[in-house]
Structure 1
Amino acid sequence: MHVPPKGLVFAIYYPVLAVIGVPANLAVIGILYRRSCGLSRCIAYYVVSMAVTDLLVIITNVILSRIAGIYFPGSFLSITPICSLHNAIIYATIDSSAWLTVAFTFDRFVAICCQKLKIKYCTEKTAAWVIGTVCTLSSLKTSFLYFIFEPLYIIGNIPWFCVIKQLFYTSAAWDAYDLFRTISMPCIPFILILFFNVLTVRHILAANRARRRLRAQSNGENQSDPEMEKRRKSIVLLFAISGSFILLYSLFFVTILYVRIAKVPYFSVPDISESSFILEESGYMLQFLSSCINPFIYAGTQSNFRAELKNGVNYPLRLFVKLFNI
């Protein structure tokens, strides 16, 4: 059973995360839905899909799980069927968010390193198909989690709270499923993002050296390269998003490995040692932080996005001033 973390740090951290993360991701969705902001439509599709899943992570994990558990314990969300469904949705959103980051990283790897494949793969149609497939498979994979819980109490014929069935720890089938779930998230996404970024960096370094030699031979001097400048923003966006994912998911990755090796329960329960609780909850805190940091990456790396964001913020202010002057 997951017990909401208690303490002033958690009581402040999670509301602040929600206050920042919800409007930030809504702004990304709203802006990129209307305009591409200099990004290709293919990239815009991935960015919007990641913003949607990040928003869902904040709503399901931060607001409905952490904040509700801290400030409103024993609410209707604690009824066992609702709690079980909520937990399945929680992992579906996290899984989708991580695998969409992998899909975006692979798309940019193809665009930068595989010029022949780029024409067929880096399209709006392919992006939409990949996004739909990732979200569908993530939902199907995590839907089985609904069946691993049982009620802790039954009061007035109403089952309350969710605890993992003992069968989950003794059944070979459930153990195989749990191993598959652990490998597919976060192990494989973490490794794939690192792998594709290493290949991309190697290709970029080799291409830059070759391009500089060709331009030096043809021009006799170093000049600005419009082609490289055009690709620079896309590359910076890729490394910023994938880099933040690797950094903020690192502790969560370590926690999952620790749970598998030490064979301790997945959820924070009263009899777990304090050090285990700190490791587990710190991993979750950084993981949830990754869901609200991407909008700031877009604003920091994309000048057109910043301009649209400023216009969106200034519009109600200009409207208010105009009405006040009247």
Structure 2
Amino acid sequence: MVLPLINRIEAIYYPVLACVGVPVNLAAIVILSQGKCGLSGCVTRYLVGMAAADLLVVLSNPVLKWTREFHFQDSFLSITPVCRLLTVAEFAAIFTSVWLTVTFTLDRFVAICCEKFKRKYCTERTAAVAIGIVSVLGCAESAPWFFLFEHVYIINNVPWHCVPSETFLHSIAWGAFEMSHFMLTACTPFVFILLLNIMTASRVLSASKVRRALRGRRDGENVEDAELKNRKRSVILLFCISGSFILLWGTYVGHRFYVRISGNYVYTSTSDPSFIAEHASRMLQILSTCTNTCIYVVTQRKFRAELLRVVTYPSKAILKLCK
């Protein structure tokens, strides 16, 4: 059977994404955990948590789901109970990754816009508690997915593969659950991040104007404003991370809304624009798990230095042994 073009692209795309996503997220975890990137303790914890969640998404989605689906269809991972567990793990990892992006955005909003509250909120302890709560909620929210799938066929009393059950497809209660899952993992975080970024940008612009005006009144002052520079660095990191999330999830959210509003749940063919849009939006959504490390490389000088040290360490060690 010849696969449609979009599926042939996916069959190559997901293994490549897995080969990139696993090492870059592992590198981010190792480098950030050392605390040598010039970031505050709470920011470091959030970034490590986000990298760990992204790594779990890469393992559960491109590796164990789509690479298996396209290249290893008859492996033990396709046994129905295992397939159900992998689905729960996938949704829990995506929920955690998304909401850690929200909590990080909220932390930076408080740090920049709420001077009186930031000393109590922007701490390593608060970051650890937030990461723990988000992780537990992700597991709890995703657990019902285990019961929404059934086997395709049974061979030697072993059920194989997972498809949505008839109960799920025709139940109002399960339909409401699916809609609430979409709202919690895509729509609500998307709106929160967008609004927090707008408020943060507005605050930064107004504060920068005031500081420049005050410094301009001081005769002969040429000293660089260190606070403004640090705030600018923090804002760039925030906007790059949350901005990439908005761009890469925007197509997915838009397509899901289109399907809900139009009621177009059945595709006429594999060349149906809605079918292609669904698969393309899914690829962009999962790509968001690999972008944060690239953002750190571009925006954080010390992270670049640490990454270069990690990458060149094996070759230096081999040269040292040869001498």
TM-score (norm 1): 0.93
Q: Secondary structure at the match of 2:307?
A: helix
Pairwise CA distance, 1:176? 2.0
Matched, 1:316 2:314: yes
Pairwise CA distance, 1:242? 0.3
- Distance, in Å, in 1 between the alignment partners of 2:126 and 2:201 is 24
Partner of 1:201: 201
**Could you tell which deviates more after superposition, 193-202 or 34-43?**
34-43
Pairwise CA distance, 1:223? 4.9
- Distance, in Å, in 2 between the alignment partners of 1:117 and 1:291 is 31
Matched, 1:116 2:100: no
Matches within 5 A, 1:230-241: 230-241=230-241
- Distance, in Å, in 1 between the alignment partners of 2:4 and 2:160 is 15
Q: Secondary structure at the match of 1:219?
A: coil
Post-superposition Cα deviations, 1:255-308, rounded to whole Å, max 9, x if no partner, equal: 221332234559xx9966632221111111111111011101011111111111
- Distance, in Å, in 2 between the alignment partners of 1:280 and 1:34 is 39
Partner of 2:94: 94
Partner of 2:24: 24
Matched, 1:276 2:286: no
Q: Secondary structure at the match of 2:97?
A: helix
Matched, 1:83 2:83: yes
Partner of 1:190: 190
Partner of 1:289: 287
Post-superposition Cα deviations, 1:143-198, rounded to whole Å, max 9, x if no partner, equal: 10111111111122111111111222322221221221121120000000000000
- The letter for the 1-side match of 2:100 is L
Runs (5+) with no aligned partner, structure 1: none
Pairwise CA distance, 1:68? 1.4
Q: Secondary structure at the match of 2:74?
A: coil
Partner of 1:252: 252
Q: How many residues align?
A: 321
Residues 76 and 274 of structure 1: CA distance in aligned 2, closer, same or farther (over 3 Å): farther
Identity %: 47
Matched, 1:181 2:186: no
Pairwise CA distance, 1:39? 0.3
Matches within 5 A, 1:201-240: 201-219=201-219, 223-240=223-240
- Distance, in Å, in 1 between the alignment partners of 2:4 and 2:77 is 13
Pairwise CA distance, 1:222? 6.2
Pairwise CA distance, 1:65? 0.8
TM-score (norm 2): 0.94
Matched, 1:153 2:150: no
**Could you tell which deviates more after superposition, 106-115 or 35-44?**
35-44
Q: Secondary structure at the match of 2:154?
A: strand
**Could you tell which deviates more after superposition, 7-16 or 203-212?**
7-16
Residues 53 and 188 of structure 1: CA distance in aligned 2, closer, same or farther (over 3 Å): same
Residues 48 and 272 of structure 1: CA distance in aligned 2, closer, same or farther (over 3 Å): same
Pairwise CA distance, 1:226? 1.1
Residues 259 and 313 of structure 1: CA distance in aligned 2, closer, same or farther (over 3 Å): same
- The letter for the 2-side match of 1:238 is L
- Distance, in Å, in 1 between the alignment partners of 2:100 and 2:210 is 32
Residues 42 and 192 of structure 1: CA distance in aligned 2, closer, same or farther (over 3 Å): same
- Distance, in Å, in 2 between the alignment partners of 1:61 and 1:28 is 19
Post-superposition Cα deviations, 1:35-65, rounded to whole Å, max 9, x if no partner, equal: 2410001000000000001111111000111
Post-superposition Cα deviations, 1:79-101, rounded to whole Å, max 9, x if no partner, equal: 11111111111111111111110
- Distance, in Å, in 2 between the alignment partners of 1:304 and 1:297 is 13
Q: Is the 8 A contact 1:212 1:222 kept in 2?
A: no
- Distance, in Å, in 2 between the alignment partners of 1:14 and 1:107 is 32
Partner of 1:62: 62
Pairwise CA distance, 1:10? 2.0
Partner of 1:14: 14
- The letter for the 2-side match of 1:218 is R
- Distance, in Å, in 1 between the alignment partners of 2:269 and 2:146 is 24
Q: Secondary structure at the match of 1:92?
A: helix
- The letter for the 2-side match of 1:178 is E
Residues 4 and 302 of structure 1: CA distance in aligned 2, closer, same or farther (over 3 Å): farther
